[in-house]
Amino acid sequence: MRKRHIVFILSLLLVAGALGTLLWLRQRALPESVRLLPESDAYVFVNFKAIRRVANTSLSGIVREPEYEEFIQETGIDPERDLDDAAFAVHSIGNNEHRYSEIFNGHFDTKKLADYFRKHAKTVIRYNQEEIYELPQENRTVRVAILDLDSVAVSNLDDGSVIRAMVDRSRQRGLPQRGPQMVQEFRSQIPLTSVAWTIARIKPGDNPIMQKFYSPTWGTGFTLVAAVAPSLTTGTIQLKANAMAGTEEAAKQIAENTGTLLSLYQAIEANAQQGGGDPDVKAFVDSVKVEQQKDKAVLTATLPPAFLKKMFQGEAGQK
């Protein structure tokens, strides 16, 4: 009897350990930077450190605007080299206009960074123990806060309370933080190995192309969950996008419309390749497939590592 009790207890411990591991992995699936973002209409996360490793490139060669080059010279920070990851919340404010809240993680000289922001800020606001720099840009104000030695928060929303809340959440990093509601709802669709992903609520009226293909079966829209993740078996990069339509009829319509656009694009690309195109681009385009899976439309594609490298260096399709 005692032996049975021991086996039973060990079994419970194994189950508890397995559940704990799963919960831990799910927690890790949501990056720290994403947890600091506010509620919004869409989210994007990019792991630049992982992309540099997968693509075996420093992501150099990107064309730099003069202001961007000035930032690099004054702060000593080269984002293509020093940025580890970035998380974005996209806010729709009407009239097809968007604003952004962002968290950047990397290797920063915070003193030089603070000096740069003070130099260019129209106002420096003291919030608790932090400084929030208000920088004028076109017809809006960009607010920036240095959260710690390796992270920075940015927001260009008119509401200054958004970045203050991001600062507050950064000061509670030791406490459980679930992150934005939409990310919580759909993060199980994102592979743990993803180097980039997006979750967005898509409304047909927000996109002129979608308006042409709109079907009443779509209702008010759908949720797009897309991720890019390395394949551990083939060495390629896998792209998967799920359009969570809510009904099978809507998913079928989205898959058919996307398939029509895809066939048109593949035909155009095939003609371009006859004149001597990029084989990596051709391999990517040929790999794109779309199908209906119950109440969602699923698009998949394979990216050769060389294509990913060219894409981030601004060279894809230019050969």
Domains of the chain: which residue ranges? Answer: 30-178, 190-319
Give the model's pLDDT for residue 315: 45
What is the DSSP pairing of strand 130-137 with strand 140-148?
Answer: antiparallel
CB atoms within 10 A of CB 11: 10
pLDDT at residue 22, rounded to an integer: 47
222-230 and 151-155 strand pairing: unpaired
pLDDT for the residue 231: 80
Q: Which stretches of the chain drop beneath a pLDDT of 70?
A: 1-29, 55-64, 174-176, 204-220, 232, 273-276, 308-319
Q: How far is CA 38 from CA 116, 162, 248, 255, in A?
A: 26, 7, 32, 31
Q: Which helix (H) or strand (E) holds 301?
A: strand 296-303
pLDDT single digits (tens) 219-233: 668 899 999 998 867
Nearest CA-CA partner of 77 in 150, 179, 12: 150
d(CA 60, CA 197): 22
Q: According to the model, what pLDDT value does residue 38 have?
A: 96
Q: Tokens at residue 256, please?
A: 């058919």
Distance CA 319, CA 154 (A): 36
Q: How far is CA 105 from CA 116, 149, 287, in A?
A: 18, 9, 33
pLDDT in the model for residue 151? 95
CA atoms within 13 A on the CB side of 263: 6
